[in-house]
Structure 1
Amino acid sequence: MSIDPQQRLMLEVAWEALEHAGVAPDAVRGSRMGVFVGVGGSDYERLNLSAGGVAGVDGYAATGSAVNFVANRVSYALGLEGPSLAVDTACSSSLVALHVAAGALRAGDCDSALVGGVNLLLSPGTTVALSQGRMLSSDGRCRTFDADADGYVRGEGCGVVVVRRLSDALAEGQQILGVVRGTATNQDGKSSGLTVPQGFAQQEVVRRALAVGGVLPSEVGFVEAHGTGTSLGDPIEVRALARVLGQGRAGGDRVRLGSVKTNIGHLEAAAGIAGLIKALLVAERGVVPPHLNVNRLNPLVDWDGLPVSVVRELSAWQQDRRIAGVSSFGFGGTNAHAVIEGPAAYQDCSGGAGGVSASGRGPVVVKVSAASAASLRESARQLADFVVADAEGDLRSVAWAAGVGRADLAERAAVVAGDRGELVGGLRAVAAGGEVAAGVVRGRRSAGGSPRVGFVIPGQGAPLAGVLQGLYGHDATITRVVDEVATVVGPVTRLPLAALLDDGEDSVRALHDTAVAQPALYAAAVALGTWWQAQGIEPEAVVGHSVGAYAAAALTGIFTTTTGAHLIMRHR
């Protein structure tokens, strides 16, 4: 009861962010992953004190309400050993958190980072204070850049992104949603008032972020503005952006402006992460959504004379290289700006599914795991709905994400499916709670902990014909391994090795010859074992009999696949 709901929300969204990145949340324990969270305070603590006074304070109140624990509890729950800190610079908190995380990654303080922000409105006190200060909109709309803008609307939310060094993400074939080219932060200093923005400081923070990222002002095509929606702040921000980003820009080329605050309100400490996520989506998809609640542009801005425009209807962003800026300004004067680039330049380099082939053909095994039976059913229902909606998607990518990018929790189910219909049917069966269904296996982890996996490879006697039916030529891993072995054993197999592992009559007859069957068995065992490892199933032990011992040695790296094939030729 003493834990601030902001901590609970951050735990949930951090878990989802890791899963979205294809990182199993239970696989990061002991890693040097950092946690950097923008958070402004604890309404919940004030509520508890006002309701029960000090007599209602228990032993959990300190860790439950202190803002540092919004980050620290995530690190504790996931077992993360990198930097863990909360950032409070008011409205710019979560974008400043991104700046701090980027510096920690460059300095080697962490190898990856969870960066986010959270804001919940639980007590009326702050709203009353902001209203008395005439900072809030009178009609419940955030009218950024509009002539009638008279304040902002408070919003709630939480956002988290997983940030890594680009070189590491490319090396591991991870999906890249966007690249943070540069970040910067500064302070207004002695402006005309404590909460009054300072245009020169805003110009400088944008210039600095561009310089850090090696980006020319004319290369920026869209800016997700801070845009709180005030007659004072909006003109200052627009002029600052125009002064910096207009440099070197061809006539008629305008920077498009928008602000997500017109969609979801001002998330205060989480505003920066909301703006970052919107900018990433815009740069990734090449579509700029309309900026809302503008009936008449603010007349204090020379819209015709400045190289900026407000996006008022859905528009395409057609440049091959899409670079966007994100601004976030704290009302105490701490400014932050980030320059991000869309993933187009890196899409050929990032697998997004561990290098899984994109054919979508052949059987798949899709894992569903949850902490309770009810959650398992709900997870299966959601996954079934996703597979139905993603009609053109690759089922192997779904299987990879479910197997590698999800935690192994107590309740388990696995669906073996040859096509989309079978997969959806199996998932629906799990969602319905049925115990028996074709292609569905149900289980529960024992209290003793995670099961230990071993590979046992036979040496003879197993029928080989058909063992790779439908896999060779459709799965990159299987095809690569079989082809490597075939270059060595081809002279003795008479039929092509891939054909031997299919189920034709000639293959069945040929495999009665031990001299043919042994190389074929070796190829099949190494191919299948390598495929399981590519799905994230790493054995603690591998054993094999006869020819299987050679395959076991190849799978554990004692020698290469080709070396094993040469030894098999001698074994015959």
Structure 2
Amino acid sequence: MSKKFSFLANATNYEYTKQDREHMVNTGSRDIAIIGLSSRFPFADNYTEFWDVLSADASCIRTFPAVRKQDAENYLKSIRPTEHSFDFIEGAYLDQVDQFDYSFFRITPIEANMMNPNQRIFLETAWECLEDAGYGGDKIKGTNTGVYVGYMADSEGSQYRLMASDTNKQHYAAGVTGNLASIIPSRISYLLDLKGPSLLVDTACSSSLVAIHLACSAIRSGECSMALAGGVRTVLLPLNVQEKIGIESMDGRTRAFDDLADGTGIGEGAAAILLKPLDEALKDRDHIYAVVKGTAVNQDGASIGITAPNVVAQTEVIVKAWRDAGIEPETISYIESHGTGTNLGDPIEINGIHAAFQKFTDRKQFCGIGSLKSNIGHLYDCAGIAGMLKLVLSLQHREIPASIHFTTPNRKIDFLNSPIYLVNRKKKWEKNFPLRAGISSFGFSGTNCHIVVEEAPRLQGSPTVEGASPEVFTLTANSKRTLIRYIDRYYQFLTDHEDIDLKNLCYSANTGRSIHSFRIAMIVESIAELKEYLNRLIGGVLDDYRDGKGPIFYGDKETKKSTNTDISDHLVKLAQAYTEGENIRWLGLYNKKHRYTIPLPTYPFERERCWISIPDSDDSVSKAVGGFSLEGKANSEMYSETEYLLGKIWSEELGYTSINIHSSLYEMGGDSILATKIVNRYNQICSSTITIADVLKWQTISELAHVIEHREYFGVGNQSIYIIEALPPQPYYPISSAQKRIYILQQMIGKEISYNMPFAIKVEGLVDYSRLEEAIVQLIHRHEAFRTSFHDVDGEIVQRISDQIHFTLHHQHSTLEQLPNHIRNFIIPFSLNQGPLIRANLFCLHAGNHVLLIDMHHIISDGTSLSILLQDFVQLYNKAEINALPIQYKDYAGWHNRFLQSKELEEMRQYWLDQFSGRIPTLYVPTDYPRPTLKNSEGNIFEFYADESLFGAINKLCLETQSTLFMILLSAYYLLLFKYSGQEDLIVGTPISGRRSADTEKMVGMFVNMLALRNYPNNHKSIKGFIEEVKENALSGFQNQDFQFEDLIDQLGMPRSVNRHPLFDVVFALQDGRMSSLQCGELQLSSYSINSNSKFDFTLQAFPRKTDILFTFEYSTQLFQEETMRNMAHHYLLVLIQMTQDRNQLIKELELKRADATNSAKLFQEMDFDF
């Protein structure tokens, strides 16, 4: 490793000299400190290596790297099959753009593969910048920090989106956000919960320098307290084509200001800086690289051409920046130029600088000039931040690198009679203090930017001497392998910096990094001792570390020579607690101690290939997906069959090719929907059974496998209880408890439509009426539920399956205005003793535009049945073959009645009776109208949604509390009800699918069961604690879900009522995200919204989608007005917002009136009803 951070080894007290302060008189309070750096450029993975490239006068121009060339050719051949060879131009290329540590950022492999490389690269670059500044992890979380990224979205920025669309249509939806340019800054704000502005800046070539200008302006105005600014650029298909924009050089080299200059080459890279008010940085003892004194931006306006440079505008923007900085222009001793090496642009830029200086001085040859583009080509939108990084490093090293590829001055430039001279050889920077410089960036959009930068305040004095005492040093990573790499990185760093201050090193390492699962801690008294311990760990001691069981604490306190034994004992306990998983508040340890942040090695990302799969290419990623590997055990330990099987299921559902058996399902991007898939797939294969509750409770493969193997050893959990066998033919069949419940309730309400399940589909295209009717008839024959009727035989309710049944698809013409009335007239009560319990009507609005209305009774279907019906209908309409169903609903009902006599169900029965022993509460929420004596099903729907920002915050809360989305949203619902009612004992109903056997997954029928979940919110509980209660209660409910709600009501002896439901009148349901459309042959099917009825007082349904959550309040119009539900929706989102902002606050601190609510979530936008 090169001598990294050689100018950083001994951070001490920052003081301005008298001379420094004279230059601050007018502008000191406006100065902005650069406190963090990061970069990735050709031949340089970090800014230290970048300086090595510059110091060596190196040119980074080369041929397109072989691996990237292969990827490019594979793609091009897939879309241009007749072409066999492609010519790529030379440029300053990154070695790799397909490597990314997706697990670190909790992104699934599929999403990472589809994500634009620019977004991936800048995400890692931004993280490194924050760590370099000492603001990694939670230290910056929730702060008013802005993010400003320069990026040209309509140029190379959109290339990967097109590549993904061409080759990976099946996964393209997973990559939508990963290819939106605006997500580049906002993903960083989302991940770190940053509250400042998050902006994408596109002014062409000046984008990233303008981003710095905007960031500084926002800090000065108080809009944000800190700001991350930067840019990124890659060129994925650098084909040698005829179409060019007129500034490209013939050989890819940039000869800025040379007489042979013929244009600029192309380059790639990424860089970021962290900005903070100088006075705050000094007060907080941050490391300061340089100081931004002044910035300015202007526009060319009307010039000779929209992309042509304007000398007057360039002069004006430089002068404007000098005035903003409040400096004497003669104190500027170097300018990092735009310097594109064009015959037109170079002379104009020199003339502009000359004219600017002439306004203040006649001095000649006192200000150097150079161009980074001579080293790394033109990075366009990333050029400004790249030049800024070069300038900052030059100030730090007090040395100006050469502008290379220069032989003879451009004959149109008179350097001798100019204030400017070209720095064509590396030179020491030895002007009076402080060193000052400028940097220019001019966009071909006409937007120009200039920034004045000054060296950091010089160091005076020495650190406060606290005396020799032990220090605790920690390192943490996401995996054992990464932790070892991190240890090695620190060892090499300390080898190069043996004179670094130990106290500042430990302070920076402990307070400025994120915390992960794999941890080491050691107590040391010197850099030499720290190096020795690190070397021991590299040498093999770390092999004793047990993955996921308890990170080691390394350090022998008995050998300490410290006289301050109390401190040493305290540090030992601290280190032990830390390695046992405690979240230590390190800043408290250093309270009132004068410690300084210093740059240290950043996190060693464990990158893996993330790239689109190219159909039929030899290098296709898809060919590797079939294989996977397990991690988490020492090499000598074998993985069990259960661990292997679970790993295979997880890898296929999540897209990972490598799974650590100690990684949490939540951390890997899983949720309750994935848990359901894991359960069904495992139970299909194995003789033992697992439940959704098992997967959600035991969140790692290691834990879940241990539980499964324990049950198998003791003979617990026999899968045979969920094996359903077909019944022999008979005139009548038993019904399930759920059907019995609905039958009784339907008889009680008479000719009411509460249990009708109507839904409407918009059908676009030329409809074949007979083909449509035939498809529905085939559906009725495929699913016996549609041919079922219900009868009272000798006092017992039974069902009968008809072999043949008459069905007619009605169709009629209608106008759009008439349609709602036609739909209301069509939805009428069913007679349960007469099949079929399904009707359909096709309304013709005009040619090519129809609405298909289907109405079914709830006794033969549920919400999942609607999805099955649609999927089957599309296949049948398309005349596709569908596998016959192995069993039908009557067979499930027969199994269900046998299960009612089982020992397992008796245990479930006892659980629910215990839940509702004693007094059972009735919920009283204020209504707009008195509760009627006979409550009908008249209802309506109010729709609202949580936007992307709130959805992201909710997902973070899920991860932090190890809860599912269902649990968080349900907890918020309880808190809303508590605030409305003041009651501390609440019961909410929630439906559960009830499809415990894989054979029922594609079957129409009434499987759903209602769970009555009882929880106890009160003012003295914390939100975090209450979420944990709801979580445990929900898991227990899932575990005991097979005891039917109707049977519970009978067991509790609760009386029936015609204006209230037993146990609860409010319901919460988490549904699958609705599909926006379906393709059915030549027809396009989409949702069509119809008014709803409401069986309960109100039901909150949540439909999570890719970037937001759609909520619906289905409410009784006999009790509530729409405005009341609007307010309730508003208050529900307020509860969610406050839960995500501070999960440790008490419930009593939740407010239902906040002025910032509408800025935090988009509450009420009408939208079509989706599938």
Task: State the TM-score, normalizing by the size of structure 1.
Answer: 0.73
Distance in 2, matches of 1:466 and 1:334, equals 61
Aligned with 2:145 (options 22, 26, 33): 33
For the Cα contact (< 8 Å) 2:311–2:352, is it kept in 1? yes
Distance 1:223 1:470, change over 3 A: farther
Distance in 2, matches of 1:373 and 1:436, equals 9
Distance in 2, matches of 1:426 and 1:338, equals 45
**Residues 200-211 of structure 1 aligned to structure 2 (within 5 Å):** 200-211=312-323
For the Cα contact (< 8 Å) 1:182–1:212, is it kept in 2? yes
Distance 1:289 1:162, change over 3 A: same
**Aligned pair 1:342/2:433, yes or no?**
no
**Residues 466-481 of structure 1 aligned to structure 2 (within 5 Å):** 467-468=563-564
Distance 1:402 1:257, change over 3 A: same
The Cα offsets for residues 489-545 of structure 1, whole Å up to 9 and x where unpaired, read as xxxxxxxxxxxxxxxxxxxxxxxxxxxxxxxxxxxxxxx986577499xxxxxxxxx
Q: 315-324 vs 84-93, which deviates more?
A: 315-324
Aligned with 1:388 (options 486, 491, 495): 495
Aligned with 2:338 (options 222, 226, 231): 226
Aligned with 1:289 (options 401, 405, 409): 401
**Residues 397-416 of structure 1 aligned to structure 2 (within 5 Å):** 397-416=504-523
Distance 1:277 1:421, change over 3 A: same
Distance 1:86 1:431, change over 3 A: farther
Distance 1:122 1:436, change over 3 A: closer
Aligned with 1:329 (options 435, 442, 453): 442
Could you say which residue in structure 2 is the equivalent of 1:420? 527
For the Cα contact (< 8 Å) 2:251–2:265, is it kept in 1? no
Distance in 2, matches of 1:358 and 1:237, equals 54
Query: What amino acid maps onto 1:388 in structure 2?
Result: T
For the Cα contact (< 8 Å) 1:184–1:208, is it kept in 2? yes
Query: What amino acid maps onto 1:145 in structure 2?
Result: F
For the Cα contact (< 8 Å) 1:63–1:69, is it kept in 2? yes
**Residues 296-311 of structure 1 aligned to structure 2 (within 5 Å):** 296-311=408-423
Normalized per residue, which structure has more helix? 1
Distance 1:535 1:343, change over 3 A: closer
The Cα offsets for residues 436-455 of structure 1, whole Å up to 9 and x where unpaired, read as 89xxx9996989xxxxxxxx
**Residues 454-533 of structure 1 aligned to structure 2 (within 5 Å):** 467-468=563-564, 531=590
By relative contact order (CA 8 Å, sep 6+), the higher-ranking structure is 1
SS at match of 1:221: strand
Could you say which residue in structure 1 is the equivalent of 2:262? 150
Aligned with 2:223 (options 94, 109, 115): 109
Distance in 1, matches of 2:393 and 2:219, equals 23
For the Cα contact (< 8 Å) 1:245–1:255, is it kept in 2? no
- Residues paired across the two proteins, number: 453
The Cα offsets for residues 171-204 of structure 1, whole Å up to 9 and x where unpaired, read as 2111111111111111111221222100000001
Could you say which residue in structure 1 is the equivalent of 2:294? 182
Distance 1:377 1:534, change over 3 A: farther
Query: What amino acid maps onto 1:217 in structure 2?
Result: P
Distance 1:243 1:368, change over 3 A: same
Q: Shift of the alpha carbon at 1:344?
A: 3.1
**Aligned pair 1:365/2:472, yes or no?**
yes
Q: Shift of the alpha carbon at 1:48?
A: 4.4
Query: What amino acid maps onto 2:305 in structure 1?
Result: G
Distance in 1, matches of 2:549 and 2:358, equals 60
Distance in 2, matches of 1:218 and 1:334, equals 26
Aligned with 1:133 (options 218, 222, 245): 245
SS at match of 2:217: helix
Distance 1:44 1:530, change over 3 A: closer
Could you say which residue in structure 2 is the equivalent of 1:85? 199
Q: Shift of the alpha carbon at 1:391?
A: 2.7
Query: What amino acid maps onto 2:149 in structure 1?
Result: V
Q: Shift of the alpha carbon at 1:134?
A: 3.2
Could you say which residue in structure 2 is the equivalent of 1:7? 119
Distance in 1, matches of 2:343 and 2:566, equals 65
Query: What amino acid maps onto 2:293 in structure 1?
Result: R
SS at match of 2:232: strand
Distance in 1, matches of 2:511 and 2:410, equals 51
In structure 1, list runs of 5 or more residues that go unmatched: 448-464, 472-527, 537-572
For the Cα contact (< 8 Å) 2:116–2:160, is it kept in 1? no
SS at match of 1:58: helix
For the Cα contact (< 8 Å) 1:178–1:280, is it kept in 2? yes
Distance in 2, matches of 1:176 and 1:445, equals 40
Distance in 1, matches of 2:409 and 2:308, equals 21
SS at match of 2:438: strand
SS at match of 1:151: coil
**Residues 201-280 of structure 1 aligned to structure 2 (within 5 Å):** 201-249=313-361, 251-280=363-392
The Cα offsets for residues 268-319 of structure 1, whole Å up to 9 and x where unpaired, read as 1111111111111222322111111101111110111111100111212222
Distance in 1, matches of 2:515 and 2:464, equals 21
SS at match of 2:441: strand
Identity of aligned pairs, percent? 35
For the Cα contact (< 8 Å) 1:413–1:442, is it kept in 2? no
Query: What amino acid maps onto 2:226 in structure 1?
Result: S
Distance 1:147 1:445, change over 3 A: farther
Q: Shift of the alpha carbon at 1:155?
A: 0.7
Could you say which residue in structure 2 is the equivalent of 1:374? 481
Query: What amino acid maps onto 2:277 in structure 1?
Result: R
For the Cα contact (< 8 Å) 1:415–1:427, is it kept in 2? no
Query: What amino acid maps onto 1:61 in structure 2?
Result: G
Distance in 1, matches of 2:527 and 2:164, equals 54
Distance in 2, matches of 1:209 and 1:267, equals 23
Could you say which residue in structure 1 is the equivalent of 2:975? none
Distance in 2, matches of 1:21 and 1:39, equals 23
Distance 1:316 1:65, change over 3 A: same
Distance in 1, matches of 2:256 and 2:564, equals 60
SS at match of 1:298: coil
**Aligned pair 1:195/2:307, yes or no?**
yes
Distance 1:362 1:297, change over 3 A: farther
Distance in 2, matches of 1:60 and 1:226, equals 39
Q: Shift of the alpha carbon at 1:148?
A: 0.8
Distance in 2, matches of 1:529 and 1:117, equals 35
Could you say which residue in structure 2 is the equivalent of 1:549? none
For the Cα contact (< 8 Å) 1:412–1:442, is it kept in 2? no
The Cα offsets for residues 383-415 of structure 1, whole Å up to 9 and x where unpaired, read as 110000113222222222211111112111123
For the Cα contact (< 8 Å) 2:365–2:418, is it kept in 1? no
Q: Shift of the alpha carbon at 1:468?
A: 2.5
Distance 1:140 1:53, change over 3 A: closer
The Cα offsets for residues 32-66 of structure 1, whole Å up to 9 and x where unpaired, read as 11100001126464344356549716223331111
Distance 1:110 1:51, change over 3 A: closer
Aligned with 2:173 (options 47, 53, 59): 59
Distance in 2, matches of 1:107 and 1:326, equals 23
RMSD across aligned positions (CA): 3.0
For the Cα contact (< 8 Å) 1:320–1:344, is it kept in 2? no
Q: Shift of the alpha carbon at 1:434?
A: 2.3
Aligned with 2:275 (options 153, 158, 163): 163
Distance in 2, matches of 1:55 and 1:427, equals 45
Distance in 1, matches of 2:253 and 2:550, equals 53
Distance 1:232 1:348, change over 3 A: same
Distance in 2, matches of 1:50 and 1:436, equals 43
